[in-house]
Amino acid sequence: MTYTVIGPTTTRTFRVLWMLEELGQSYDRFTHAPQTEELRKFNPAGKVPVLLEDDAALTDSTAIIQYLADKHGALTYPAGTIDRARQDGFTHFILDELDATLWTAARHTFVLPKEKRIPEVKQSLKWEFEQSVTELMRRKGDAPFLTGDRMTVPDILAIHCGSWAVAAGFPMENSAFRAYAKSLRNRPAYVRASAA
Ligand SMILES: N[C@@H](CCC(=O)N[C@@H](CS)C(=O)NCC(=O)O)C(=O)O
């Protein structure tokens, strides 16, 4: 069994790289950019990341990292437990409130055709993002990770969205989030994934 991760490190592909590094799994790598001919051979939608496992091509970063966590029995609570339901609650909150807001801003900056972009929406999205980060930190409380003492899938999503927000010029002033992000970015697996 061989994993191959496809996509540039500067995209949601980073989530998959970080998960594989946390799990201590080796992988091959292609850095095909979105919407290129090479990439469309693996994902006709032209989106990254893609994870190849033998003959299977898996898409959608959250589905991929949850699959890897389940398969290797780490960074997740088992399916069918109350702890897993709480973990998935964090996952969905982050996708609905952080990822979706950043993605909408990206669409109105460089993804949509020029005539469909509404740049003014970005001020509203930045404000909304700050509200959502505050709520995420309220839900997290004083624990080191979102679900308590154990790092799980939504921590990877939250920290990736935090870095994405900074890169996109969103304000990131919540001190609790900054401290949480700093501690996770110091993890050896994060550092290795950044260099991948
Ligand atoms: N829900 C998907 C979104 C994938 C996605 O939109 N990826 C971006 C890069 S981070 C992309 O490939 N964009 C190119 C496009 O939409 O044309 C995931 O989490 O993997």
Cα 182 to ligand 1 centre (Å): 25
Residue 115 pLDDT: 98
AA letter at 183: S
Q: Is 34 in the pocket of ligand 1 (CB under 6 A)?
A: yes
The tens digit of pLDDT for each residue in 19-56 reads 999 999 999 999 999 999 999 999 999 999 999 999 89
Q: Which two tokens stand for residue 29?
A: 């790598």
Residue 149 pLDDT: 96
- Closest C-alpha residue for ligand 1 atom 15: 47
> What is the mean predicted confidence (pLDDT) over 14-22?
98
Residue 5 pLDDT: 98
Cα 141 to ligand 1 centre (Å): 31
- Rounded to whole angstroms, the Cα distance separating 102 from 95 reads 10
DSSP letter (8 states) at residue 145: B
AA letter at 45: A
Residue 196 confidence class, pLDDT cut points 50, 70, 90: confident
Q: Helix or strand or coil: residue 148?
A: strand
Residue 94 pLDDT: 98
Q: Is 12 in the pocket of ligand 1 (CB under 6 A)?
A: yes
**Does the pLDDT of residue 182 top 90, yes or no?**
yes
The tens digit of pLDDT for each residue in 56-91 reads 999 999 999 999 999 999 999 999 999 999 999 999
Cα 46 to ligand 1 centre (Å): 8
The tens digit of pLDDT for each residue in 115-146 reads 999 999 999 999 999 999 999 999 999 999 99
Q: Which domains does the chain have, with CATH numbers?
A: 3-75 (3.40.30.10), 82-187 (1.20.1050.10)
Nearest-atom number in ligand 1 for the CA of 103 is 6
Cα 48 to ligand 1 centre (Å): 5
Question: What's the distance, Cα to Cα, between the start and end of the chain in Å?
Answer: 20
Residue 12 pLDDT: 98
Taking the whole predicted model, whether its pTM rises above 0.95 is answered as: yes
Residue 1 confidence class, pLDDT cut points 50, 70, 90: confident
Residue 104 pLDDT: 98
The tens digit of pLDDT for each residue in 100-120 reads 999 999 999 999 999 999 999
Angle between helices 82-93 and 121-140 (to 10 degrees): 160
